[in-house]
Amino acid sequence: MIMSRIEAPRDEDSAAGTLVGRLLGVLPPDSVLTDPDVTASYAHDMASFCPAGTPAAVVLPRTVEEVQHVLRTATDLRVPVVPQGARTGLSGAANATDGCVVLSLTRMDRILEIDPVDRIAVVEPGVVNAVLSRAVEEHGLSYPPDPSSWETCTIGGNIGTASGGLCCVKYGVTAEYVLGLDVVLADGRLMTTGRRTAKGVAGYDLTRLFVGSEGSLGVVVRAVLALRPKPPAQLVLAAEFASAADACDAVCRVMEEGHVPSLLELMDRTTVKAVNDLARMGLPETTEALLLAAFDTADPAADLAAVGALCEAAGATQVVPAEDAAESHLLLQARRLSLTALEAVKGTTMIDDVCVPRSRLGEMLEGIERIAGKYRLTIGVCAHAGDGNTHPTVCFDAQDPDESRRARESFDEIMALGLELGGTITGEHGVGVLKKEWLAREIGPVGLEMQRAVKKTFDPLGILNPGKVF
Amino acid sequence: MIMSRIEAPRDEDSAAGTLVGRLLGVLPPDSVLTDPDVTASYAHDMASFCPAGTPAAVVLPRTVEEVQHVLRTATDLRVPVVPQGARTGLSGAANATDGCVVLSLTRMDRILEIDPVDRIAVVEPGVVNAVLSRAVEEHGLSYPPDPSSWETCTIGGNIGTASGGLCCVKYGVTAEYVLGLDVVLADGRLMTTGRRTAKGVAGYDLTRLFVGSEGSLGVVVRAVLALRPKPPAQLVLAAEFASAADACDAVCRVMEEGHVPSLLELMDRTTVKAVNDLARMGLPETTEALLLAAFDTADPAADLAAVGALCEAAGATQVVPAEDAAESHLLLQARRLSLTALEAVKGTTMIDDVCVPRSRLGEMLEGIERIAGKYRLTIGVCAHAGDGNTHPTVCFDAQDPDESRRARESFDEIMALGLELGGTITGEHGVGVLKKEWLAREIGPVGLEMQRAVKKTFDPLGILNPGKVF
């Protein structure tokens, strides 16, 4: 049936012709893009310095069956498949490889179910994070994971990269909200993992194996997500410090005293200045480090007062609680602008994602400053400080080969420092292309061998997002 | 070197002789038990109806190197290895197989580190749950997972079975507290997974793959655990209902209204009576269902008042908040006695562990009552009601073959009902031997095939806890 609908391949391009013909056997024409100008726009995510190839086609399926057909076809023809969400990732995990099918899940964007008693949502992978967040809010619920790109990134992408966000210090990462998945395997078979119940331990936890696997083990086509009751609006406090070390000391004191802030963020002087330059936010530029703490508890003002006192004890030069929700919102907006603002400094950035034990955060920031000096570079740091998760952001002029080389070297040296301090090369952005040479250094040869073995178990032909993670 | 220390095997038992000799090449004599009377006492956990074989030896290593030696030896000789904690499990996952080495991790019981800033503990697998819980409390911290057996069960066993407990409705299960692991693989190699940071996404999440794998993928020899700040003491409320349906309605209302109780437990009439019979607790025997709710918030009395009102709206005949911590403690003690009390009813029990979406809890309880009638059996139900996790407990006389058969059949019918209602055959006890025929029914043929493939990836010779899970 399908075969009869295949057009004869053009001589000069018979492999691609066969592929596209097979795809069009089941997918409608508007779901299979082959115009090189169009497909090129799907070639890469938001990471710098990551090679991206030329796709043979971009497919935009609307149903599980269509995804299965794409994978079956790719298996038959041994064509690589690169699953994609909104391409807001920062590690090149969604970058095309030459001759691949880009499998964009953005059209599978239905919220299938929201249940306030069971506190779950069932969604397709293309649902935008903010769309889901707003939809569940109407039911008095919250979906906590809030990556900076939450207005555009998709749940499928969040699952693929195991995204974090500002909320993680209290609410954890995406992985903790994924209860069950429907996954299309490399050969097109559909597998259901996990559960829709609050608990469940039937067999190995394959759900969590897929979270953060960057589309290299299978394609998520449906997810059961855990929700929480919507918390009270959070109130934010800003504390200025005369040194990054003091700010990190404050972070340690806050956590050691048992506080549970809903966010605990740090912006260094470079970042503060960049945000002011971009958006005239009026942040205090005399500070060496600005700490933002928030609580969404029953009495956030009381919690902020306690945290403010700890900041002062750690040497804060000024502690300013937001007067109300509007002021809180402004402070968070400033924080969320950080990466964009740093990009404006020199035109290009490499955003690192090193997470260290929070007790080592001070050493990490000190080391980053040393590395910036050594390589004569501007490196701004914003950090999910409560998690020890830093985003050292190297600002450079991509037209300047020497500065680009120094940027790349400093980026690597920051990762090495993170590992030395007992940290990880990636707290929430993933490995992708950008850090795959670093994975072995972090997890060691036995870990790497077993990870490769897992990959081979799920994708024996190596067609799923090849060249990523490893 | 090792070979020269092996004693010549006895003729009649050369395989076992070689095995024991090889083990004694590295482990001290007091760590290798072969007296059949002694080894028999390690043959099974606390599950009924699960076959257990005769071990060739029980080894009690004290170091990672000794565990590696055991696994290397087992690989060389193709001898099955059954990892064990305190054998408090309820699915036969720790049961010996004939000729196996029982690998008891109970002597590796050191708490290596507790860090209040990073909020982590690093432990060996033999640490008893309650010992860790008390140790971290001294630092103002809490390790939430609290299976009923917490006074005797080990962290390694908790990780192997992905244990739950009373706290899960607020604090989640063991899996959510395991950040990183050291695992000895089947061939004796040591692998480190995960991290000691708050976040980390470097490579596939092998940590979670090991949690709940019942010792069938590797042997956990060290764990990095996440801790939380110690919450305020919880205050408990008891609500009586004239029907289980009303109690389940109350559970749904409580969760739908966005409350976050620290526990939400249900005991049916049979369980209440059994507890009174065993321990004269003075629980109200006129009730059809007793609901216990607790809060460990800043103002638990206010939260309990709100929940009490919801219980009354759902038809509670009486709502009694505990006056103080002592009364709260007594109520929880009654709940924790449930399984022991039900065991006293007829001498033997089969404890099921079906978890359904909490919105289906009423149907589940109704179905269990129907099944009890059909099979003319006493089935007491206690449940982590807030999670929809029921423990229907079939009480029977093991000396009566007909009643035993009916017990087994009713047990299976309860699992079938759970699956029909969108639930899982096991919320927190695991598959082990007891439910392995049911796993395929829950996860389907593709899921089962991939789970088997994962097993084979980590244990190609099939020596790790064979005959469990699948």
In the predicted structure, residue B1 carries a pLDDT above the cut 90: no
Q: How far is CA B409 from CA A185, A403, B346, B394, in A?
A: 36, 73, 17, 10
pLDDT tens, B69-118?
Answer: 999 999 999 999 999 999 999 999 999 999 999 999 999 999 999 999 99
Residues forming beta bridges with residue B32, ordered by sequence position: B59
CB-CB neighbours of A141 under 10 Å: 21
How much is the pLDDT for B89? Answer: 94
Contact A235, A322 (CB under 8 A): yes
Q: Which residue in chain B has the smallest CA separation from A386?
A: B198
Instruction: Give A 428-457 residues with CB within 8 A of chain B.
Output: 428-431, 435, 439, 442-444, 446-448, 450-451, 453-457
Contact assignment for A140 to B205 by CB distance below 8 Å: no
The mean pLDDT of B19-32, rounded to a whole number, is: 97
pLDDT at B13: 57
- How far are the Cα atoms of A189, A419, B74 from residue B70, in angstroms, in the given order? 39, 31, 6
* CB of B429 closer than 8 Å to CB of B354: no
Q: Are strands B81-84 and B101-104 parallel, antiparallel or unpaired?
A: parallel
Please list, residue by residue across A256-286, b when 16 or more beta carbons sit within 10 angstroms of its beta carbon and e when fewer do.
Answer: bebbbbbbbbbbbbbbbbbbbebeebebeee
Q: What mean pLDDT, rounded, does chain A reach?
A: 94
- Residue A267, beta-bridge partner list: A290, A382
Rounded distance between C-alpha atoms, residue B235 and residue B97, angstroms: 45
- What CATH class is the domain B235-420? alpha beta
Interface test with A, best of B197, B421, B451, B457 (most A CBs within 10 A): B197
H or E segment and range at residue A208 = helix A206-210
Nearest to A237 by CA among A265, A218, A204, A256: A265
Q: Could you tell me the two tokens for B88?
A: 């408090």
Which residue blocks in B140-287 are alpha helix, DSSP H?
A: 155-161, 168-171, 206-210, 244-256, 269-279
pLDDT of residue A49: 83
B424 vs A168, A197, A447: nearest CB: A197
CB B325 within 8 A of CB B238: no
In sequence order, which residues have a C-beta less than 8 Å from that of residue B166 and are 6 or more positions away?
B146, B148, B263, B265, B332, B335, B336, B384
Rounded CA separation B160/B182 (Å): 13
C-beta separation of A254 from A305 below 8 A: no
CA distance B32 to chain A (A): 28
The reply to whether residue A200 touches residue B431, judged by beta carbons under 8 angstroms, is: no
Q: What are phi and psi of B203, to 5 degrees?
A: 85, -175
Max CA distance (Å), chain A: 77
Asked if the Cβ–Cβ distance from A256 to B469 is below 8 Å, we say no
Residue A4 pLDDT: 37
Cα of first residue to Cα of last residue in chain B, in angstroms, is 39
Phi/psi at B267 (5° precision): -125, 130
Strands B111-115 and B101-104: unpaired
| Domain A3-104: assigned CATH number | 3.30.43.10
Contact B441, B69 (CB under 8 A): no
DSSP string, A28-80: -GGGEE--HHHHHTTS--S-SS------SEEE---SHHHHHHHHHHHHHHT--
Distance of CA A35 to CAs A44, A98, A117, Å?
16, 15, 47
Which of A120, A178, A199 to mutate against chain B (most B CBs within 10 Å)?
A199
DSSP 8-state assignment for residue B134: H
Angstrom distance (rounded) from CA A252 to CA A264: 11
What digits encode the pLDDT tens for the residues B194-222? 999 999 999 999 999 999 999 999 999 99
Domain with CATH 3.30.465.10 in chain A: 111-229
| pLDDT, averaged across chain B | 94
**B173 φ, ψ (degrees, to nearest 5):** -100, 175
User: Under DSSP, is residue B240 helix (H, G, I), strand (E, B) or coil?
Assistant: strand
Residues 6+ apart with CB under 8 A from A342: A270, A271, A274, A349, A380, A382, A393, A395
A386 touches chain B (CB under 8 A): yes
Stretch(es) of chain B classified as CATH 3.30.43.10: 3-104
Q: Which pLDDT value is given to residue B70?
A: 98
3-state secondary structure A273-325: HHHHHHHCCCCCCCCCEEEEEEECCCCHHHHHHHHHHHHHHCCEEEEEECCCH
Q: Considering only the beta carbons, identify the residue of A191, A422, A446 that sits closest to B189.
A: A446
Given the structure tokens 């990134």, which residue do they identify? A153
* CB pair distance less than 8 Å for A427 and B201: yes
pLDDT tens-digit series, residues B256-291: 999 999 999 999 999 999 999 999 888 888 899 999
Q: What pLDDT is stored for residue B11 in this prediction?
A: 44
pLDDT tens string B401-447 = 999 999 999 999 999 999 999 999 999 999 999 999 999 999 999 99
Q: Which residue has the tokens 């049961």?
A: B95
pLDDT of B2 over the 50 cut:
no
Under CATH, which architecture does the A111-229 domain have? 2-Layer Sandwich (3.30)
Query: What average pLDDT does this structure show over B155-174?
Result: 95
How far, in Å, are A181, B39, B452 from residue A193 at the CA level?
5, 38, 14
Under 8 Å between Cβ of A113 and A135: no
Pairing of β B57-59 and β B101-104: parallel
- pLDDT tens, residue order, chain A (470 aa): 333 333 444 444 577 779 999 999 999 999 999 999 999 999 999 998 899 999 999 999 999 999 999 999 999 999 999 999 999 999 999 999 999 999 999 999 999 999 999 999 999 999 999 999 999 999 999 999 999 899 999 999 999 999 998 899 999 999 999 999 999 999 999 999 999 999 999 999 999 999 999 999 999 999 999 999 999 999 999 999 999 999 999 999 999 999 999 999 999 999 999 999 999 888 888 899 999 999 999 999 999 999 999 999 999 999 999 988 889 999 999 999 999 999 999 999 999 999 999 999 999 999 999 999 999 999 999 999 999 999 999 999 999 999 999 999 999 999 999 999 999 999 999 999 999 999 999 999 999 999 999 999 999 999 999 999 99
